[in-house]
Amino acid sequence: MGGGAARAAFRWIRVKNTHVPRGWATGEGHEPGLDYDYAVLELKRAHGQRPMALGVSPDTEDTPGRRIHFSGFDDDRPERVVYRFCRVARESPDLLFQRCDARAGAGGSGVYLRLRDPATRAWTRKVVAVYAGHQREAGPGAPGSYNVAVRITPLKYAQICLWIHGNDADCAHG
């Protein structure tokens, strides 16, 4: 074989259970709230990979370069994981607005921060939001068009932790 990079094996794993926040199902004829655009899929069996840590989204002023990172499967390249990073343009208590070059298909990707542990000086990654897609703001003086990520707030962190562990005894603040 040549000296090229080995291609990662792809394995399908069935989903055992799906957890969706109540705010997502708002009733017939109503759009679900964008700040509820996240879910947890419980797999039928372990996938064998170490997951990235989950955390509460800090103010972007407290993140290196106000930069977020995520990877996803864009609809124009479904067989390839596409990595991207960019600065947060603005934020609200529940959303991060940015102009990463993501395309449809990347929705649901975990948005993470690279943080340096002051004690060990090692870099770590924490998922702090979920990529939700594109949004065009309407109204006079609207700043334009953004890609949006749903922040993991303390309340969302507690909900996700409860879904994963089944009780809140294992859920410390992220």
* CATH superfamily for domain 52-165: Trypsin-like serine proteases (2.40.10.10)
List, in sequence order, every residue forming a beta bridge with 91; answer none if it has no partner: 96
Structure tokens at 4: 């090229």
pTM summary value: 0.78
**pLDDT digits 0-9 by tens, 11-59:** 778 888 888 888 776 655 555 677 788 888 888 888 787 888 888 998 8
Listed in sequence order, the residues at least 6 apart from 36 whose beta carbon sits closer than 8 Å to its beta carbon are 21, 22, 23, 24, 150
**Rounded-to-integer distance, Cα 150 and Cα 110, Å:** 10
pLDDT at position 48 is 80
Alpha-carbon distance of 66 to 68, in angstroms, equals: 7
Tell me the two tokens of residue 141: 């003086």
Amino acid 59: pLDDT: 82
pLDDT at position 129 is: 92
- The domain locations on the chain are 52-165
Cβ contact 150:163 at 8 Å: no
pLDDT, mean of residues 136-152? 72
> ∠ at Cα 60 (59, 66), nearest 5°?
170
